[in-house]
Structure formats: structure tokens, C-alpha cells
A and B are shown apart, each in its own frame.
Chain A
């Protein structure tokens, strides 16, 4: 007998802040890697601490080296103790670890998947019901197609009585071609609703707040278009250098590392139309429309709309610091960019003619991620005769880090007998207005993936549209050593970035001070 609509609803979930997550076994490929140790395992512990894991939860770690379950549990425990945002409760930690198992072997070894299948069946048997399965690919990207293929051939990609999902870490390809190929490979085995491509930026409260800011406040939306907005600047600056990540960073560069994914997502949040509803499909549909509205650059366009540079020796935090080429592990003569800036256009009805400036870099003056929306100047300045040289267009700045907030630059009269205007800031800081502490992005994302909510994950066409914008730039840069002898432009560590970035700006525009 078919269930009625009433039977299909769960009346007990009303009013609960945390909605149930179906019983799940989470399989982490690359379970001994840096991401798993620093982020995933602590996130799982904190979910357990808060009572937010599913009723029945098992975790299986997979990595190359053979070891016993107990040895892996000890490694998990060490990682959790070291990297968790809170001191572990011993009983909760023991309870979590008791359901952790391990499979050792290479990702292309059929025997690994046979052993995994047996373990998963065992988890189901112990629970007395088939548990959902989530495969988390936290490995080097070259293993993604291998693992997905093996999951398919070992018949682990589907289950008659449970949901099976695959969570794929970034980078999702390093070129458009690779991203397409990876999508083709993944979607040959899994259906799109089973696939959760992580961009952990989307799990940050600050990014989600942008949607609340735009769509829960009526005062901004009437201004949010080409008639009132002059330009948009998105900055993700870091004070630090590449640290010990030379291997990864030198093969990626600033454009792939931040612009292709995180910063284009921020741009989408600024420029997207209000979705009909906040479901995964509606939100992602609107983001894809924005990405598809950005013209793909031709090689001839690139010198006019993209700038790259590399940090040279300089000063940061009161210390002398070395340049990129002197960093440990960086190949001699590398032309990898540590700074990238773009000027993009969103060619649609709302945004035609409004430049979107994006810039990111290592070893800049300070760490900040912000979106600055500059409004058009007033059409007539009645105060100019009074010496109001300080009048500037209104600017709305959404700061994502370090201090999440909103700042609005207004013109105000300087106290005194004359009508002299200067800009002042009206500031709101999220930290002052909420009691709660934001959960780590991975806690939110793991929970959402286990619940099957893909709103904060990137869809296949979204990834390809992002690469469609960045791929021509990556390709052109890789073929040209740069305009100056010896490689690409340089900027001193601790500075505002290269002078060349100024060349991207429209007349009258200027980069905000970092």
C-alpha cells in the first residue's frame, strides 16, 4: 500500500534546529592526508560532540599504507586532539573512534574495494539496516577518476535501499578540458544529485550571509544594478607567503587557487538574481546564469583584463621576508603567479557596463577578504563651493574576514561653520550581534552532504562555466613567460601588489587599499 502524504511527513522534526541526518557510513579516501587530519576528522569529532552525527554512524578510512584498525584509530585520535576547535570529551571521542575502521591499499587495487564492500556490508548488518554511504575523495586530484571508476566497477556507486553519495574535494580539474573529462568520468558512474563538489568557501557562514544580506533586506535591492552601481571590487589578500605548500602552489598559482573557484563564487553571490527558492537547484541555476554571462576571454583580451605577478623579497609583519623564488621547494625560474587580478564584465541586463575587479595574492600588506560595491557619484554636488573635496561616492563594503561585517561610506558634514563634507563610515560587525559561534565550514558541508542537500556544493555546469572563464587566461599565461625579462612582474612582499594591476582599472577607478 502506498504511503499517504501524512505518513511521509515526520511531524517530530518541526521546531528542531537540527534536522535528522540519515544513518550513514562515511568513507574517506586519503584518510591519513593533511586535509583529513586537520579538517575532516576534527569536524567529525565536533559533530559528534554536538550530537549532530546520524543515529548510526561509521567511518572507514582508506589510504595507501597497510595498518590495523587500532593503529588508524590512534592516528585519528591524535589528529582530533591536535586540531579540534574544542578539547575532546573523552567518552564522546571513544564512542566515535569505536566505529572507525581502516582499509589499506592503493586506490587502483580491486582488492581494496572488495574489502571496503565487506566492511560496508558489516556496518549495515551491525545496524540492522542498510546505511547510506558517502565516499569522500580527499586525495590528490589525479586519483579522483581512478577511485570513481573503481567504485563503479565494484558496484559500490549504487544501493537498492540506501543513498550513495560522492564528495569530491577541490581542485576539480586544473583546466576546462580536465574538468569536463572529470565530470564525464564521474557522471558515467554517479548521477549528478549523488555528486557533491566541495568548495569549502561556500560552507563559511560569511559567504552564506551574503545571500541573507542581499535577499533579506529590501533597502539594497533597488540599487543593486547598473543604474546605481559603478563598480565592484572583490579582494582576497593574504599577508602570508606559500609556507610549505610549494609543491601544490607552484603547479596551481593564484588564479587556479582562489579566483577560479572561491572568488568567482563570491562574484556569483554579488551578481545573481534572487532565486525562486533557496533550494540547491534554484540557487545553483542562478549562479550558473551569472557565470554564463561573463564573456570567455580571447588571447587578445587577456593583456587588457588580467594581470599576474610574483612576490619578491620585502617586509611583512616587521620582518624581512624572502621572495617567492627563494621559498623552499619553488623551482628555479618559476613563473607561477602569486598575484592575479582580473577585470570581468557580467553581460546581462542588470550588470552590463559595470566592471567587476577581482584580485588575490600572497604576501600582500595584510589579510583581508572583502567585496566593495561602489555606487555612482551624485549627479550634482551643491557643496563643491564650500571646499568639499573629500566627497566620494558611497561605497558598501562587505568584509568576510578577518572581521565579518558591513560598512557603508557616507558623506557627512564636518562640524563647523562651513558646509564641508568628508566621508565617514557606518559600520556593522556580525561578531557584535550574535551569541553563537560559527561552525567550521567542513562541519556544515559534511552534514549537508550526508543529508543530500547540495545547495552549498558546486554543480557540474557551474564548475565548467568557472573554468570557461579562467582557462583561456591560464593557457595564455602558461605560454608566455611575461612582459619583463626574467619572468612575470614582481611586487615587493608586504606591498599593495604590482603596479601593473592599476592598468586594469577604468579611468577614475582605483584599487582599495589592502
Chain B
């Protein structure tokens, strides 16, 4: 999607009042230019970022295309900064065609320093659109700031695989779920895997096999243990497994967690294995085995997931399930969209995942 026109305002040593007035004025100007320019009114997004990484974050957000929040407020933090500087941009997705609308999306970048942190709410609050849901994203940590800004947010965006330790990631996500709806990019990356596992066992004749699973193996990016735990946590929460801590398994094949959970009266063996060859965050493959000898394997492939199915008689089949990679920009865009939805299965999966931490 090409951005074809922008209206820009900037001021050094400004105030939230002046920024808000500039937003209103720019909107009036754009509407006067062409009555078919209409401001989108869907979602506020607040991104709290380190100023030196503002460009990188801007690039990531540019990639989300039509999922861009209707008003994006970037709070760019620079230690030692004294002055409040701001830039407002109102961009359209294209020139309006006769009889059609062109949506306007607003971006406000406010540069702040330590002295502004104590009163951050009084800076951010006037700059979001009242009555729209607000999504908060702090990709560079700053948990204390997040806790403050949660007061004006209904959803918080995080990526559990960005925390160096899976325990810290899952603990943090658990804490946040008590105050806001959590959109976890690590969870969203697993959506195609969850869809395919659900579909594989959807035929009524195969559903009983879900209660006869004996082993689950997940291969994941080296830094994506949290993602693997969430996937297994999802299975555990959906299938009523009694989870317990897994153990580190040093078999010389890289990092792994292994152990078992109780499913009814039976044991399900679990193994979460790092896949050093995987260069992108998330999962590399999943294998489920059942007591009847059935085995379903899914792994990343070109043009979609590659499925491997072995039936109870030992006959194997392989095929590709078409689906284009969303890329990290697509995952982030999906995360923004999810702020407007509610997935009731994330929290139970998260709790189960946490219960399996070593």
C-alpha cells in the first residue's frame, strides 16, 4: 500500500495541548483539501520506544500496511532529555478516487526524557482518541512504564520470545493478563500450526485420537522456547492434561526440555527441542503420536506447512498444506488487529505453559 500524501506538523518544546490542537488543525486542512479524506477511527496504539530505535520501530510499523492503527502515538524516550518535542503526520493511503473515500491515519511522535516519565499519563492521555480501544506496545522492555500506561490501555502487545528467558516471558505475560487483554506475537505465530492440528483431528472418526495422544515433540527456534511452551500449553489446556515441570534434557542434540504430563490415566511424553537451523522466531515443526500408532508431523516448508501422516497400519503420506508466510510484518499487523478481538484460549494455554517451566 503506498502512502501518497502526508500532512506534517512539528514543534520543539511543545505541550500536549499544542500537539492535540495541531492534530485537529491538520485534520481540518486535509478535509478541506478533499472532502473524501476521512479519518480512520478504529484503534489507538501507543508505542513506548527507546529514541535511538525509533527508526527501526517506524520501519516495522510501516510494514503492517492496512493494519496500521488509526492513531499511533510513539513515545520516544531519551535519557537526559529535558524538552518535549513532537511531530504529527497525517497520511492517506492514496488520493481519493471520485466517489470513494481515502482513509487518514495519524502518527504522533513525542520525544520525552526522564523528567516526563512521572507525568506520562498526562502527556499520552490527551493524544489518544477518546472511546477507541488503546493498544500498548513497549518493544524495548520498560516494564515500569508499561505498568503506568496500562491505566489507559485495554490491550497490550508483547512478544514472549523476545525475553531472553522463557520463565521471565511467561511470568510477565501472566502478570499483564490480570490488567489487560494480552496480544502475544509468539502465540500468533503459532496460529497456522494450531489451525492445522485442529483440522487434522476434526473428522469425527479421528477426534477420539486426541484423547489417545502419547507423545508430542515440538522443534523451535533457539530463542523461542516460550513459543513451544505456549503450543504445548494450548494442547494441554484444550485436552485437560495435568501439567508439571519439564526438565532440561542435555542429550547433546542442542537445548531441549522434556518430561511428561498426565492425560486421564495415561502419560503423554513431551519434548521441546531447539532447532539451530531455524533463522526466524517461532516453531520449526510439531509431531503428535497416538496410542493407535497414528502420527502427524507438521514442519515448515516452502509454500506452506509440510504434513506427514502415518496411519495406524504404518502407511505414510506427505503433502503440503498451502499457505503463504506472513513474515514478521504480517505477524505484527495481525497482533494489532487482534487487539480488537478476544481469544479465550490464550490465557489457559499460558497458564499451562507456565506450569511446565522447569
Contact = CB atoms under 8 A, between A and B. Distances in A.
Contact of B322 (A11, A95, A432): A95
Contacts of B43: 435
Contacts of B311: 128
Given A3-B208, A128-B317, A11 B238 contact: yes
B9 interface: no
A431 B321 contact: no
Contacts of A433: 40-42
B196 A431 contact: no
B58 interface: no
B203 interface: yes
B32 interface: no
B137 interface: no
A470 to B, nearest CB: 30
Nearest to B104: A432
Interface in B53-69: 66-68
- Interface size class of chain B, counting residues whose CB lies under 8 Å from the partner chain: 35 or more
Contacts of B238: 11-12, 14
A12 B198 contact: yes
A55 B321 contact: yes
Interface string B257-278: 0000000000000000000000
B164 interface: no
Q: Which of B202, B320, B343 has the most C-beta atoms of chain A within 10 angstroms of its own C-beta?
A: B202
Contact of B103 (A12, A93, A432): A432
Contact of B344 (A14, A49, A91, A126): A14
Contacts of B41: 432-433
A277 interface: no
A8 B204 contact: yes
B194 interface: yes
Nearest to B97: A402
A91 B199 contact: no
Interface string B142-175: 0000000000000000000000000000000000
A50 B304 CA distance: 10
Contacts of B317: 126-128
A123 to B, nearest CB: 12
Contact of A21 (B40, B42, B197, B199): B199
A14 B347 CA distance: 13
Interface in A54-81: 54-57
Given A7-B211, A48-B322, A96-B322, A435 B198 contact: no
A7 B207 contact: yes
A13 B345 CA distance: 10
A155 to B, nearest CB: 23
A435 B210 contact: no
Nearest to A55: B199
A51 B322 CA distance: 6
B321 A51 contact: yes
Nearest to B69: A435
A9 interface: yes
Contacts of A11: 210, 238-239
B39 interface: yes
A436 B337 contact: yes
Q: Which of B199, B203, B238, B302 has the most C-beta atoms of chain A within 10 angstroms of its own C-beta?
A: B199
A55 B196 contact: yes
Nearest to A129: B203
Contact of A51 (B67, B198, B323, B345): B323
Nearest to A6: B211
A385 interface: no
Contact of A7 (B42, B197, B208): B208
B251 interface: no
Contact of A431 (B103, B197, B322, B336): B103
Nearest to B340: A435
Given A56-B319, A89-B324, A96-B322, A403 B195 contact: no
B322 A53 contact: yes
A512 interface: no
B200 interface: yes
Interface string A1-38: 00100011111111111101110000000000000000
A95 B303 contact: yes
A128 to B, nearest CB: 5
A434 interface: yes
A22 B66 contact: no
B319 A12 contact: no
Interface string B233-244: 001001100000
Nearest to B337: A435
Contacts of A431: 38, 40, 101, 103
A69 B329 CA distance: 37
Contacts of B210: 10-12
B4 to A, nearest CB: 17
A403 B100 contact: yes
Contacts of A21: 199
Contacts of B100: 402-403
Contacts of A56: 319
Q: Which of B38, B324, B337 has the most C-beta atoms of chain A within 10 angstroms of its own C-beta?
A: B324
B141 to A, nearest CB: 27
A8 B203 CA distance: 9
Nearest to A403: B101
Contact of B40 (A16, A92, A432): A432
B218 interface: no
A142 interface: no
Contacts of A129: 203
A54 B322 contact: no
Q: Which of B192, B238, B239 has the most C-beta atoms of chain A within 10 angstroms of its own C-beta?
A: B238
Interface string B79-103: 0000000000000000000011101
Contact of A435 (B42, B303, B324, B345): B42
A18 B235 CA distance: 18
A95 B305 CA distance: 11
A389 interface: no
Contacts of B343: 15
B201 A49 contact: no
B214 to A, nearest CB: 17
Nearest to A14: B345
A57 B304 CA distance: 13
A49 B337 contact: no
A22 B208 contact: no
Interface of B: 38-43, 66-68, 70, 99-101, 103, 191-192, 194-204, 207-208, 210-211, 235, 238-239, 302-304, 307, 309, 311, 315, 317, 319-325, 336-337, 340-341, 343-346
16 contacts: A7-B204, A7-B207, A7-B208, A16-B191, A16-B194, A20-B195, A49-B322, A51-B321, A57-B322, A90-B303, A96-B322, A432-B42, A432-B101, A435-B42, A435-B337, A436-B337
Given A7-B211, A51-B321, 14 more contacts: A3-B207, A10-B207, A10-B210, A11-B210, A12-B210, A15-B345, A15-B346, A48-B323, A402-B99, A402-B100, A431-B40, A432-B38, A432-B39, A433-B41
Interface of A: 3, 7-18, 20-22, 48-51, 53-57, 89-96, 126-129, 366-367, 402-403, 429, 431-437
